[in-house]
Structure 1
Amino acid sequence: MPKPRKTQVALSATPYYHCVSRCVRRAFLCGRDPLSGRDFSHRRGWIEARILKLTNTFSIDVCAYAVMSNHVHVVLHVDQALAESWSLDQVIDHWHGLFTGSFLSQRYCRGDAMGRAELSALHQQVEVWRGRLQDISWYMRCLNEVIARQANQEDNCTGRFWEGRFKCQALLDEKALAACLAYVDLNPVRAGIADTPEASEFTSIRQRILQRNTAPGSQPVQLLPFSGNPREEMPKGLPFRLDDYLELVDWTGKQVRDGKRGAVAQDLPPILERLAIEPKHWLSMSLHFESRFKGLVGTAYAVKAACRQLGYRRYSGVSRCKELFG
């Protein structure tokens, strides 16, 4: 039986999460349907634009994404401190960017005179919105619902576009985060619809490479930046160097495309050495991350600690995490 979302997200354990949404019956509702011959590829652009737009509204950063023909991957970073630092007016502005708000919030924005009871009720409502603006379930709802409505309107039909639940995996440490990022960024290469990461349309890796080539030293503003290796006074961002990560993705992609899962090159990317990941284990994870792990991903120690925080009595994936992460 699937666990409820509140028992899968523990911000005290990690702010990083991998989410996957699939179309109903895994139909090609975002790509070219081989049976009907219809091409829905333009919807992938809808989804990418929506993902990037939501970064301006939620206190949730996008680390990576890949929009495929029948499913979507996003790796998210929940910035809880940012949401808590927002003022009353900022929370209302962010929420009104998604919804019309309430009668009280509309009156407040118009500058109408409000009594003490009305202001108290408004503050209570704003705190609810503050929580939702840092909630992964609300993020995925605001992503998927808009796309489903657009697609149904285009098809002149009703009914489900996405499966009922999105899959969520907690990334507990740097090893899990790096493996998941590479897994998501290499989705089109593994699927055979792109030869290289920079040719992978509707992916974060393509956005990062294009930005780097256009303006060296800069990174896309809509994506959580790479901030370098962990250190004191670490700025907000992914705990890797961008060049190291791109080298890792390029190396991994070559292994996948050449069918050399057992033949590992001698010149390994330095990021694998720093993370102390065996090359054969890395290739296994970058090929099958989603199927290899359940809800919690990281070293066995990190998984057991997260299980205690979430109140789990047992966790079936500890042995696999111990095998691959050590």
Structure 2
Amino acid sequence: MRKAAAGLRRKEEPLRPESELRHLTPSPLLEFSPSAPVSGAIPFSLPDYLELVDVLGRAIHPAKRGVIPESTPAILSRLDIDFDTFIATADQFLSGFGSAVGTPQHLAALAEQRQCRYLRGVGQARSVFGRAA
């Protein structure tokens, strides 16, 4: 994973301060494509990306505002996602949901807030988050 992470930033691009980056327009989300080099895709799997985010969040650096303490559980545990189910369904994780991802309770509350009968993905939410609606 270190090799993949190191290749994400071009060597000729200097790191820019956060105050400068704050003013940029957000880019659309990219899809994950671990097996094929797809233009405009993140070149590894979603579980690897989540692990990368978790590891980088735990790294201590003077230019970082904060750090995830070592005592904090891994990201999938913090999100209350069943690891085995997530790994088995990661390639279809987002396609199983509609416009939102969350626990069945959160999806039901969002449907109520949007004044609609349901949101697609409650079955996927039960499978991944392991909770009843």
TM-score (norm 1): 0.23
Which protein is richer in strand relative to its size? 1
TM-score, reference length from structure 2: 0.49
Greater helix content:
1
